């Protein structure tokens, strides 16, 4: 894959870094959301791309430390890292992430919030409203690397309306409360099992991941419309809860796969509120490369 005369090499796993011959110094760019981290390493005229687990200041565990150990063994000293992550809006949380990278002896370590990454990827050094529909659903005003009017970001236990996770939650609420058609009920049971099986999965160790990865599509047009209405309900919940109540907004941009998948619904619901959907970016990382590389 080619990007502005730079060859992008995608690794299947971060352990493949051991096969890369690095020039020195190099620049590392990382964008960490609620579930995973996208990495880009500029190595001469080549960009190394891979994914790992997410890095959140409150949940640094074995998986994150294994990634850091791999970087320590493979990354040249005196390089530079730009890290954008969820939970990194506060200075104390930025310091937690910085300390993780200190054993690599970077020349410079920059840590900022993933909200800055979202705003920068769309507005650059300008300003505008941006929403993230995903783990940690949030809406804020971005103003040249400053975050204002922050709404949401309460996490999946207290919020996340408008995310894929919340869609999964609504999908099974409709089923369990029997607020659905017989076709819908049959479709859910065929796809995911009966009531007891569904509840066991949701309250199991992988329940959050399960709910966040629900994908419902069918050739039954009436049933597909019923599913689409759940997406619409999810997006309306986000807009109702997180749009500023005392300010007029002309346009909003969004980040995330769920926003991209539901672009049509987003555009329609925003139009009802007199707001223009400016832009949707699935991943900020590719736009951030233009700043840092």
Taking the chain (293 residues) in consecutive chunks of 10 residues, what is each chunk's mean pLDDT? 68 88 86 88 90 87 87 85 90 91 85 92 91 84 89 79 92 95 95 94 90 90 96 95 87 92 95 94 89 82
Q: What is the pLDDT of residue 72?
A: 86
Picking from 109, 65, 55, 61, the residue whose alpha carbon sits closest to that of residue 86 is: 55
| pTM: predicted TM-score of the whole model, two decimal places | 0.85
First to last CA, the chain: 16
- CATH tag for 2-106 (out of 2.40.30, 3.10.20, 3.30.43, 3.30.420): 3.30.420
Q: Please tell me if the domain spanning 2-106 has the same topology as the one spanning 121-282.
A: yes
- CATH tag for 121-282 (out of 3.30.420.40, 3.40.50.2300, 3.90.1310.10, 3.40.630.30): 3.30.420.40
Q: What is the pLDDT of residue 40?
A: 94
Determine the Cα–Cα distance for residues 83 and 102; give it in Å rounded to an integer. Answer: 13
Q: What is the pLDDT of residue 110?
A: 93
- Hey, how many other C-beta atoms are within 10 angstroms of the C-beta on 123? 20
Q: Left if phi > 0, otherwise alpha if psi is -120 to 50, otherwise beta: which for 109?
A: beta
Q: What is the pLDDT of residue 5?
A: 63
Determine the Cα–Cα distance for residues 109 and 94; give it in Å rounded to an integer. Answer: 10
Residue with tokens 């996770």: 165
Domain limits, the chain: 2-106, 121-282
């Amino acid at each position: 894959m080619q990007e502005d005369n730079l060859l992008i090499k995608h690794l299947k796993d971060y352990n493949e870094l051991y096969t890369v011959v690095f020039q020195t110094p190099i620049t590392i760019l990382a964008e960490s959301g609620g579930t995973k981290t996208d990495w880009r390493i500029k190595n001469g005229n080549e960009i190394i791309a891979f994914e790992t687990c997410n890095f959140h200041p409150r949940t640094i565990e074995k998986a994150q430390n294994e990634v850091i150990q791999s970087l320590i063994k493979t990354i040249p000293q005196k390089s530079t890292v730009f890290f954008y992550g969820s939970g990194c809006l506060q200075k104390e949380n930025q310091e937690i992430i910085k300390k993780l990278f200190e054993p690599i002896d970077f020349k410079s370590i920059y840590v900022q919030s993933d909200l800055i990454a979202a705003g920068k990827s769309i507005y650059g050094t300008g300003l505008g409203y941006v929403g993230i529909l995903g783990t940690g659903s949030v809406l804020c005003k971005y103003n040249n690397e400053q975050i204002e009017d922050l709404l949401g970001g309460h996490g999946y236990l207290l919020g996340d309306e408008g995310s894929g996770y919340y869609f999964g939650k609504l999908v099974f609420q409709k089923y369990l409360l029997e607020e659905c058609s017989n076709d819908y009920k049959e479709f859910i049971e065929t796809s995911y099992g009966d009531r007891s099986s569904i509840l066991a999965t949701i309250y199991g160790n992988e329940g959050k991941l399960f709910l966040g990865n629900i994908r419902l599509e069918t050739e039954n047009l009436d049933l597909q419309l019923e599913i689409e209405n759940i997406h619409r309900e999810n997006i309306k919940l986000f807009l109702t809860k997180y749009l500023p109540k005392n300010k007029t907004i002309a346009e909003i941009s969004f980040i995330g796969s769920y926003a991209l998948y539901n672009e049509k619904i987003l555009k329609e619901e925003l139009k009802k509120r007199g707001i223009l959907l400016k832009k949707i970016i699935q991943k900020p990382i590719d736009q951030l490369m233009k700043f840092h590389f």
